[in-house]
Every structure is written in C-alpha cells, then in structure tokens.
A and B are shown apart, each in its own frame.
Chain A
C-alpha cells in the first residue's frame, strides 16, 4: 500500500482547481476547492449547485461554501461538472 496514491492525496492535489462533488441525494456542486478535512467536509468557492428534480435540473450560485461531508458520495477533480 505504500507505493500507491491514497484517495485523500488525490483530493489534496486538487486544491486550487475546479472540482465536481456528487452527493448521495440528487444534488451536485461544482466549485474551486479551497480545502478539506479528515471527514471530507469541503470548503469551495465560486460554487454552482445543481439540484435534479422531476421538473429538470435547477441551478443556483453560491459564494464561499462549507459543504458537510456526511452526504458526499463522489468527487471528480478537475471537472467543471455535469455540463462538461
């Protein structure tokens, strides 16, 4: 295990870049990753929130955001999100 990259290392390398965060429910966020902690709570800025509803995908813009890691499912580094 020593020579392989650890998952949290991959996220650490993404600090300063765009990241796409997929939650366990039908919500996603894209933003610039400023930092995270051991619990994968995340600090993002210039955030777009995407909410998938039966009517379609709603978007909202947010400033600096603390995202609670409890509901995070997946992270895609270097991506501008579902529209890319």
Chain B
C-alpha cells in the first residue's frame, strides 16, 4: 500500500476510508459487531447502523477452547460504541 497513491498517512485514515461501509469490530468482553460505519472520533467511539452483535462464551470448565461457541446474536438498527472497548476495526475486504 503506497502511502502517496492511497492517501493513507496514519491509522485513522484506514478507518476514514471505511465510512459508510460495513466493518467488523472486535470488542473487549468477547463481543463482535458487524455494521455500517457512520462516524468515529479520536477515542475510537463509533456509530454503527444495521448492526449484528455476536457474543462468545468461553467454557471455563475444561480450560480449553472446545466449549467455545456463539451464545447470542442480536440486531440493532443504530448504536454508539464506546472507544475504550474497541480492540480492532476491520475494513471490508477489497478486490
């Protein structure tokens, strides 16, 4: 990714390019979101619309990942995400 051709200078530029696109967001507390990104700020607070939330549950009994699976998926039309819970924002795959 050549900076001069794509205009990406810093990490937030990558997020800026994803505005109005569907993004994948990983949050602390074993949550993941998929939604359309409408806004962000310097704290990584986000506004997403048409969102599906997936909550993972890790089975602590056997201590391995074998018990892990999705517990709940929920859909919301519009939501605000507090930035300190955001682990990563992944832009949609490009051709």
Mark A residues whose CB is within 8 Å of B: 1, 4-8, 10-11, 24-25, 40, 69, 72-79, 82
Contact = CB atoms under 8 A, between A and B. Distances in A.
A69 B85 CA distance: 11
Contact of B45 (A1, A8, A78, A82): A8
Nearest to B48: A74
Contacts of B78: 10, 76-78
A4 B45 CA distance: 14
Contacts of B41: 6-8
A72 B28 CA distance: 11
Interface residues of B, number: 22
Interface in B67-86: 74, 76, 78-82, 85
Interface of B: 16, 19, 27-29, 31, 38-41, 45-47, 53, 74, 76, 78-82, 85
The 3 closest A-B pairs by CB, nearest first: A7-B45, A75-B80, A24-B29
6 contacts: A1-B16, A40-B45, A74-B27, A74-B79, A76-B78, A76-B79
Contacts of A75: 79-80, 82
A10 B82 CA distance: 12
A73 B47 CA distance: 12
